[in-house]
Chain A
Amino acid sequence: MANDRDITMNSADGHGASRLGEQDAVGGETTIVFDGRSINARDGESLAAALLASGVRVFRTMLMTGDQRGPFCMVGRCTDCLVVVDGVPNARACMTPVRAGMRVETQRGLSGPAVVGEGA
């Protein structure tokens, strides 16, 4: 899939993503794993917010076209932020609270890394 190459830009963070301060009602600093690399997060915060803060933009690719998607609505409606969490696909990152040690992967097509190249 041609677009897969571009997902490596997720780690470049050339677009100035940052945290603005601490938010209310979430826990302390913790670490999660996204596509094999360690990412700082806050326990209980929205997974989508944590990934965006660390420069991740592409959360999933579409099954038929390979088109890239990232969070759009942040309220659980658009499903553009689907990721694989601890091996289970189709988690809406915006509605999923961060837990320490969570393993998150870009969702490619329907079911995560196992179907790369088989979907389209």
Chain B
Amino acid sequence: MMAPEVAVVGGGPAGLSAAIAAAQTGASVTLLEERPVAGGRLRYRSTPLALRPGGQFQAPAELADRAIDEARDAGVRIVTDAPVWGIFADLRLGIARGERAELIAPRAVVLATGSTDLPLAFPGWTTPGVFSGRAVLMLVNQHRVLPGRRWAIVGGGVERERIAADLRRAGADVVVMADPGEVGAVAVFGSGGVEAIAVGDARVAVDCVAVAAGRQPDAGLATMADCELGYDPELGGWAPACDAWGRTSVDRIVICGDAAGICGPTVAAAEGRLAGLAAAAFSGRVERDALDAALATESAALVNRKRVAVGSYAQPYR
């Protein structure tokens, strides 16, 4: 694999937007996606959205397909089934390609690695039939599979409501919604798979359980690269610090989207457009005033966006 000027890790709304923005400056761009198809959360979100403020709302999967087309038209090389498993000195990226490993050394890296679901370790949480919230959304909306009929959802927040709505639209019965912080003890029982959930003193027969405990930024590569991190519950926990364009404390590493703090697809796309320009600027493709102009353009999408600022925390992992 040839080393590009910009390597983008992750093909969700942030990464696709970053790759397009970088490629449109003339930079050579490779987008690395660990799954068989790019699109990230756009592949398993059910409700329409726009990736630009004021844009027309569209089905998420259609937005993903359009962004992939736009990226290819701009010259982005999209490599799927390509997990990035490490980042090393001089910005070398370790990439798994089937049974082989490859190293590339791009000029700049955009980390658009998204988020991971937080687990909740209640008794019985490893019983087959208990799924992370994202797994449920993927199964129902992307794989088009309902793994059981009667459901309990353990957890709370926006994600719980989204999971409940998507399950019900798929014809499932959501019979229990329990936030352990409110109901106290929750436990799952079953042999050969989930059979029942106990909430307080009540025991209810269910086939499956979804866990909606929130998400955290996937900061694995940023941590490995020694990017400065900060802890902020509103961002989903530990998040890499960055400036308005996503530039981290490590030279030539830029971050965007949920990886920089949980934010959702519309903000992620706006951040991606800025991060792509910032990354291309490390190859001299973008002038300073163009970066400023882009920030002004995206400010509407980012007005309530919170992030960890570079220099606001001590290096916690040193």
Contact = CB atoms under 8 A, between A and B. Distances in A.
Interface string B191-217: 111100000000000011000000000
A72 B144 contact: no
Interface in B145-162: 145-150
A118 interface: no
B244 interface: no
B193 A22 contact: no
The SS class assigned to the A binding surface is: loop
A70 B132 contact: no
A7 B192 CA distance: 6
A23 B207 contact: no
Contact of A20 (B35, B132, B146): B146
A36 interface: no
Interface string B35-62: 1110000000000000000000000010
B25 interface: no
A66 to B, nearest CB: 12
A57 B117 contact: no
B145 A72 contact: no
Contacts of A3: 191
Contact of B146 (A17, A24, A25, A73): A17
Contact of B134 (A21, A22, A52, A75): A75
B138 interface: yes
B278 interface: no
A70 B139 contact: no
B243 to A, nearest CB: 29
A31 B238 CA distance: 44
B245 interface: no
Interface string B109-141: 000000011000000001111111011001110
Interface size bucket, B side? 35 or more
Contact of B193 (A70, A74, A76): A70
A105 interface: no
B144 A19 contact: yes
Given A15-B149, A73-B135, A23 B192 contact: no
Nearest to B37: A25
Contact of B126 (A8, A20, A45, A80): A80
A49 interface: yes
A15 B145 contact: no
B139 A52 contact: yes
Contacts of A38: none
A115 interface: no
B34 interface: yes
Given A17-B147, A73-B117, A57 B129 contact: yes
A31 B293 CA distance: 55
Nearest to A16: B149
Contacts of A109: none
A20 B135 contact: no
Given A68-B127, A68-B192, A72-B131, A15 B207 contact: yes
Interface string A4-38: 00111110000111111111110000000000000
A53 B135 contact: no
Q: Which of A8, A23, A57 has the largest count of B CB atoms less than 10 A from its CB?
A: A57
B128 A59 contact: yes
Contacts of B127: 68
B143 interface: yes
A68 B194 CA distance: 11
A57 B192 contact: yes
Contacts of A69: 126, 128
Given A15-B149, A53-B145, A73-B117, A67 B126 contact: yes
Interface of A: 3, 6-10, 15-25, 44-46, 49, 52-53, 57-59, 67-78, 80, 97
